[in-house]
Amino acid sequence: MIDHSNGNGAGRAHEAGGAGGEVAATATGDGDGRIALRLTVNGREHAVRARTHHTLLEVLRSPQIGLIGTREGCGIGMCGACTVLVDGRLVSGCLVLAAQADGRDIVTVEGLSQPDGGLHPIQAAFVEHTGFQCSYCTPGFILATKALLDEVPDPSREEARDFLAGNLCRCGSYVKILDSVMDAKHRVPAAADAS
Amino acid sequence: MLDAHDRVTGQVPYVMDVAVPGMLHAKVLRSAAAHARIVRLDVSRARALPGVVAVLTGADLEARSDLFPYFGPVFRDQPVLAIGKVRFVGEPVAAVAAVDLDIAQEAVDLIEVEYEELPAVFDSFDAVADGAPLVHSEPPRLGQTFADVIIHSQAGTNICNSFRLRKGDVEAGFAASEHVFEDTFTSPPVQHVPLETHVAVVSVTKAGVTCWSSTQIPYILRSQLAEIFRLPASKVRVIVLTLGGGYGGKCYPKIEPIAAVLAQASGRPVRLHLTREEEFVTVTKHGVSIRMKTGLSADGKILARQSTCHFNTGAYADIGPRLIKNGGYGTGGPHSIDNVWVDSYAIYTNLPPAGAFRGYGISQAAWAYETQMDMIAERLRMDPLELRRRNLLKNGDTVMTGEPIEDAHFRELLDTAADRIGWDFTDWDNGRELVDDGRKARAKGLSCIIKGTVTPSTSTAAAKLNEDGSLQVMTSAVEMGQGLQTAMAFIAAEAMSLPLDRVAISSVDTDFTPYDQQTSSSRSTQAMGGAIVGAIDQIKARLLELASDQLEVSPDDLEFSDGRIRPKDAPDRGLDYGEVVRRDRAGNIQGNGTFQTKGGLDPETGLGIGSVHWHQAVGAAEVEVDLETGHVKVLRYHAGIYSGRTINPVQADLQTEGNVAFGVGQALYEEMLFDNGQLQNGNLGDYMIASINDMPPDLDVGVLENHESNEIHGIGETSLPPVMPAIGNAVYRATGVRVLDLPITAEKVLRGLRARAAANDAAAAESELEPEGAAA
């Protein structure tokens, strides 16, 4: 676990190697040091090849998968811009080796949108409250919000603050991010009921 | 924001998402020495590595007669890759382009370099001392630069540039003063930390240069790339997508020249994307020491102020030569002072280059004058609010650069701030509230600042009214999260009398979008907004002509309404804009607009028109200090700002709240720590920026408008400079600890508390020893 505290913020720890475990037996090296991996990303299975030092973040962004919503901000698990869900758990994509994600179920921001292309209720709340400026950090915040609401469906503002302290927004859109999260908690159950 | 959907789904592309067929990936070897001659640089093993396509050194570039391997927005003092010597730890020494990033990095690791270390200088005072090692032995090469830049460089010294302001007679002012106070304030270098680090993709072919860059200054980048390749500007194309934050750090070329020379050498497009650690040594905010002497009359009116500012500009000038002007005159503050004297210096040292940073010298100046205002108030036993009120600029007063101010709102802003924070000053011995059984102390602080915007400056816009009546606006103003595209769309829709969804704002492509000076200085909504209105005025004039013919109604009797042009007395007879265009077979109707401001300062006196108008802001903070740890928490903050006319209230709130986040970080944590030129905390584990938990739980934004003038005042930066002194002043009243050097770390507060406790103990011991009655 990496303590994600910043200044006075305790923060919710992103998990280093949260996917845990060893490299699965299917992962075998080839001549140029690449191994074959199978990742399920947003419900779709991908067979990819990656070097053993490549991170999940790099592989998600590589042309093999080509999802650009997951972004590097610091490379050391401190900023949360590369936040993804691995088997439902919140992790920093820059801290997880691609090989550790072999066989795992990964959700990125692209996986939140509804089948009809509509927004996930959390995304809709971020639009409604303009919970972003440059929006580089936004996918990370949205996935962190999803993890929060999966764990605590009705968080207090303070709980939400503490949980989100592991994601950094340099534009400082925090007030409206928190407004978005507090609104999202009302929208999410509604969406669940509707489905 | 108009593209909100794409932003929350992660679909909005940044330059780092650009992939061009055949693209190579670049890595840079950076200097491990602060100041050294390069005695051996062997890239042969890197060149031999399979997958490597190009390896370049400064010597390779220098040998090329078709290249000018230097850049910089004022002086061309920065080599694309170090030539002969290195001047800071982290300076690019060699660069590799390879088929993938792993191979590029492996090649960099194979480069052998030997340095002969030279004496280095890091402190701006050491750098101007006799016998200091020279960072640059040659006088700086001046190139085409901005109209407002004033140059007084001193060859043979480390003084890169200086600026002076001479208003009134400062000696006479001090002579007439009842009280004269002199203090020194410092601000450290800090980093912008845009979450998107610098990134560029460049292709160079015989036809010209194409550069995708995360830059705030597409047209300046274009001219500098043209200069490097000795090409006409028309052969260089700069394309900018939305930025993942800029904050000034993406002003002026930084990494694009490296990617460009690699692209040329390899004959393939090259992508260079910095790591966070590289970003930290690419550009910084200026560290500075400001010595400020202020003279006042017996009743607390400031009669004279003299400031000497040593801005540490690092190893290369970047925009330092201009920033010291703003930071220098900025020390005059929002006060009406007849006699002002400023000497401001940009000083070369062997640190990473310092450049533009949100606040642009004013944060550093305001930290000095607004901290000193409270120190003076205490010495005079005055209410700091009252001391400020007595000195704030009013309409008709002259600002520090000598021009009268006509739209002054300082008093209203400050009174509102005092009201919102519950300002309740009684005297200097009281004013703090103890909580948690005396373990914590709470108190309040105020500040007020003035900031100019770059003057003179120019923006241009083009617009076309399409055959379906929709409007397309082409500008080179950069969206970096400030919501500029949305603000421009609001302005265009209103000017063209069109619904918002019929208006599109282009992204930046210098092959198609017209000139803009820079997206910085909180200028774009006003300047580019003005240019857009000018372009639309041309379209409307033509539309009026055509519709007048088509409807056989005099132009004077026609009006624009919601996408239609119609006779005032017969609205039903109106035509859709598109119909007018189609009937005329005009294809489309085009318009061009230019917004230009005039002004500038006299190079000798620093007087003139410092800014086309003046940005104004206040801050009021309530802090809680843990007296056992020294830790400061900002409980409440009021950010007050004058906007003239607000285009997008949500975005105004966001920018202001963002400034508070920036300011809290700079007040309490942010500082780049160097050891002999080596950055010690260049990553987000060791360098703290504000998290959501650092935001004041009670944050109040007050945007003041003036519906009479209706003039748009940019708000991107103005509310930042008040944050640090408002917090510092509150911390002092809570603890009695006056920190003069930012940041106000827990360590400094605790040290101050202990020093005070020790002094109190000593005084108590002393008084016990005194024989009774001796005090009388």
Distance from CA of B679 to the nearest CA of A (A): 16
Report yes or no: A173 and B655 within 8 Å, Cβ to Cβ. no
Does pLDDT of B584 surpass 50? yes
Confidence (pLDDT) at A16: 43
pLDDT at position B178: 98
The percent of residues in chain B predicted with pLDDT above 90, rounded, is: 96
Q: Is the pLDDT of residue B261 over 60?
A: yes
Q: B590: which 2 tokens?
A: 């085009």
pLDDT band at B775 (very low <50, low <70, confident <90, very high): very low
Any idea what DSSP says for residue B405?
A: P
Helix (H, G, I), strand (E, B), or coil: what is residue B747?
Answer: helix
User: What torsion, rounded to 10 degrees, do the Cα atoms B279, B284, B285, B286 define?
Assistant: 180
Give the A window 30-49 contacts with B, CB below 8 Å: none
Best probe of the A interface among B1, B3, B8, by most A CBs < 10 A, is: B8
Question: DSSP label at B555?
Answer: G
Distance to chain A for B429, nearest Cα, Å: 29
What Rg do the C-alpha atoms of chain A give, in angstroms? 17
CA nearest B697 in A: which residue? A175
State whether B7 and A113 contact (CB < 8 Å).
Answer: no
Nearest residue of B to residue A113, measured between CA atoms: B9
Return the pLDDT at A1.
Answer: 32
Are B693 and A9 in contact by the 8 Å Cβ rule? The answer is: yes
- Beta bridge partners of residue B40, listed in sequence order: B114
Of the residues B624, B693, B717, B745, the best mutation for testing chain A's interface (the one with the most A CB atoms within 10 Å of its CB) is B693
Burial of B424 (0-12, 13-18, 19+ CB in 10 A): exposed
pLDDT of residue B770: 65
Please list every residue in chain A whose beta carbon sits closer than 8 Å to the beta carbon of residue B196.
71, 73, 134, 136
Beta strand B159-167 with B339-348 is antiparallel
pLDDT at residue A7 in the model: 36
- Give the list of residues 6+ apart from residue B131 with CB closer than 8 angstroms, or none: none
Q: How far apart are CA B529 and CA B593, in angstroms?
A: 10
Distance CA B87, CA B85 (A): 7
Per the prediction, chain B carries an average pLDDT of: 96
Q: Is the pLDDT at B693 greater than 80, yes or no?
A: yes
Beta strands across the sheet bearing B558-561: B558-561, B564-567, B575-576
Nearest CA in chain A to B4: A127
Residues B177-196: pLDDT tens digits?
A: 999 999 999 999 999 999 99
Nearest to B119 by CA among B704, B677, B539: B677
Cβ(B296)–Cβ(B202) below 8 Å:
no
Q: What is the pLDDT of residue B205?
A: 97
What ipTM was estimated for this complex? 0.96
Q: Which of chain B's residues have a Cβ under 8 Å away from the Cβ of A11? A: 691, 693
Q: Say what the pLDDT of residue B153 is.
A: 84
CA distance B331 to B284: 21
For residue B277, the model assigns a pLDDT of 98
Q: Model confidence over B320-340: pLDDT tens digits?
A: 999 999 999 999 999 999 999
The pLDDT value given to residue A29:
52
CA B39 to chain centre: 38
CA distances from B124 to B121, B313, B363, B366, B674 (A): 8, 9, 18, 20, 14
Q: Cα–chain-centroid distance for residue B575?
A: 46
Across the interface, do B692 and A10 touch by the CB < 8 Å criterion?
no
Q: Taking CB atoms and an 8 Å cutoff, what residues of chain A touch B13?
A: 68
Q: What percent of chain B has pLDDT over 70?
A: 99
pLDDT at A191: 45
Question: Does B547 have pLDDT greater than 60?
Answer: yes
Task: Give the model's confidence band at B511: pLDDT under 50 very low, under 70 low, under 90 confident, else very high.
Answer: very high
* CA B281 remoteness from chain centre: 17
Q: Can you give the pLDDT at residue B769?
A: 75
Single-letter residue type at B580: V
Q: Where are the alpha helices (DSSP H) in B9-120?
A: 44-48, 58-62, 101-109
Q: To the nearest whole angstrom, how far is the Cα of B12 from the nearest Cα of chain A?
A: 8
pLDDT, tens only, B196-209: 999 999 999 999 99
Amino acid at B765: A
Backbone angles phi, psi at A123, to 5 degrees: -60, -40
Contact status of A7 with chain B (Cβ, < 8 Å): yes
What average pLDDT does the segment B1-13 reach?
A: 94
- Average pLDDT on B22-33 reads 98
More confident residue, A25 or B403: B403
Do B659 and A69 lie within an 8 Å CB cutoff? no
pLDDT in tens, chain A (195 residues): 333 333 333 344 444 444 444 444 444 555 678 999 999 999 999 999 999 999 999 999 999 999 999 999 999 999 999 999 999 999 999 999 999 999 999 999 999 988 888 999 999 999 999 999 999 999 999 999 999 999 999 999 999 999 999 999 999 999 999 999 999 999 986 444 444
Does B661 contact A169 at a Cβ distance shorter than 8 Å? yes
For the record, the structure tokens of A55 come out as: 């991170």
Residue B299: pLDDT over 70: yes
Task: Decide if A136 and B17 are in contact by the 8 Å CB cutoff.
Answer: no
* Res A12: pLDDT: 45
Predicted local confidence at residue A194, as pLDDT: 41
Chain B residues closer than 8 Å to A126 by CB: 4, 8
Q: Which segment, A184-193, B519-528, B532-541, is predicted with the most confidence on average?
A: B532-541
The pLDDT value recorded for residue B154 is 87
In this predicted structure, the answer to whether residue B281 has a pLDDT above a threshold of 80 is: yes
Q: What is the pLDDT of residues B64-116, one digit of tens each?
A: 999 999 999 999 999 999 999 999 999 999 999 999 999 999 999 999 999 99
Binary contact (B195, A136; C-beta < 8 A): yes
Tokens at residue A89, please? 């758990």
Cα torsion angle, B151, B152, B158, B164, sign: negative
Distance between A190 CA and the closest CA of chain B, angstroms? 20
- B32 by Cβ neighbours in 10 Å (0-12 / 13-18 / 19+) ranks as middle
Nearest to A69 among B9, B481, B692 (CB): B9
Give the per-residue pLDDT at B220.
98
Q: Is B144 left (phi over 0), alpha (psi -120 to 50) or beta?
A: beta
Q: Which of A175, A177, A181 to mutate to test the interface with B (most CBs of B within 10 A)?
A: A175
- What are the residues facing B263 on neighbouring strands? none
**Helix ranges restricted to H, chain A:** 56-61, 121-128, 138-151, 157-164, 174-194
How much is the pLDDT for B697? 97
A9 to B244: CB separation less than 8 angstroms, yes or no = no
pLDDT at B157 over 90: yes
A169, closest residue in chain B (CA to CA): B691
Residue B718: phi, psi to the nearest 5?
-60, -30
Contact list in A for residue B655 (CB cut-off 8 A) is 133
**What is the tens place of the pLDDT at every residue in A52-83?**
999 999 999 999 999 999 999 999 999 999 99
HSE, side-chain direction, 13 A CA sphere, residue B424? 9
In 3-state terms, what secondary structure has residue B541? helix
**Would you tell me the crossing angle of helices A138-151 and A157-164 to the nearest 10 degrees?**
130
CB-CB under 8 Å, B658 with A137: no
Residue B483 has pLDDT above 70, yes or no: yes
Average pLDDT, stretch B296-321? 98
Tell me the pairing of strands B339-348 and B433-435.
unpaired
Q: B-contacting residues of A 89-118, CB under 8 Å? A: 108-110, 112-113
Least confidently predicted of B45-54, B226-235, B307-316, B708-717: B708-717
pLDDT at A21: 42
Q: Tell me how many degrees the CA angle B376-B379-B384 measures, rounded to the nearest 5.
A: 50
Nearest residue of chain B to residue A172 (CA atoms):
B658
Quick one: which of B97, B220, B203 has its CA closest to B212? B203
CA distances from B23 to A72, A184, B20, B80, B510 (A): 20, 41, 5, 21, 22
Instruction: Report the pLDDT averaged over residues B16-36.
Output: 98
Rounded CA gap, B322 and B73, in Å?
10
Our CA-based measurement puts residue A16 at a distance from the nearest CA of chain B, in whole angstroms, of 14
